Amino acid sequence: MQFKAQTRYIWYSPYKLRLLADVIRGKDVVSAMQWLSMYKVKRTVPVYKTLKSAVANAKDRENHEPRDLVVAEVRVDQGPIRHYFKPGAQGRSVPLRARQSHITIVVAPRTDVEKTKNKKNKLAKEA
């Protein structure tokens, strides 16, 4: 069974958060949380909190330990964009866009992830 956590309307650009998502995707939860806590960039905080929430969901619903879980899916989607203007040179105004993100993290027990990988490998070999 998979356990999901979402965080919406994060004030970081999805382009910057996707770099972090690519690193933790497919890792086991303990090493992903260690990496996020050691990587000293402010952008890691919402990703870390979302991962921690997904692990708490797994613990609460089916009593899974973090060492038995794998980060099955990490998605960073584009949220709304706030358009605003700042003063520019020679009395002009410069348009700026502040982007927001939605983070979705899915964790699953290690055995479930291995089963889906084996199924995909069998289908690839048959084709």
DSSP 45-89: HHHHHHHHHHHHHHHHHH---GGGEEEEEEEEEEEEEEEEEEE-G
For residue 32, give its domain range.
Answer: 3-126
Q: Give the residue, 22 or 124, on which the prediction is more confident.
A: 22
Six-digit token string for 86: 């700042």
Q: What is the mean pLDDT of residues 116-120?
A: 67
pLDDT computed for residue 111 by the predictor:
79
Instruction: Give CA–CA dist 3/104, Å, rounded.
Output: 11
CATH number of the domain bearing residue 30: 3.90.470.10
Of 87, 91, 9, the closest CA to residue 50 belongs to 9
Q: How far apart are CA 125 and CA 103, in angstroms?
A: 34
- 119 has pLDDT over 70: no
- Tokens 């979402």 correspond to what residue? 6
**Model confidence, pTM:** 0.83
Distances (CA, A) of 10 to 53, 97, 119: 15, 14, 35
Taking only the tens place, the pLDDT of each residue in 62-84 is 888 989 999 999 999 999 999 99
- The count of structural domains within the chain is 1
First and final C-alpha spacing in the chain: 28
User: If pLDDT is split at 50, 70 and 90, which confidence band does 126 have?
Assistant: confident
Bigger pLDDT: 39 vs 125: 39
